[in-house]
Amino acid sequence: MFTKVPVIWYFSFINCSAGRNAGILNELTQLFLFHLFSFLIIPILLSLFVFCCLIHTVCWLCKLNMNV
Q: pLDDT by residue (tens digit) across 12-66? A: 444 444 555 566 767 788 888 888 888 888 889 999 999 999 999 999 999 888 8
Closest Cα to residue 30, out of 12, 15, 18?
A: 12
CA atoms within 13 A on the CB side of 42: 7
23: helix, coil or strand? helix
Q: What is the DSSP letter of 20?
A: T
Is the whole model's pTM more than 0.75, yes or no? Answer: no
Delimit the domains of the chain by residue range.
6-67
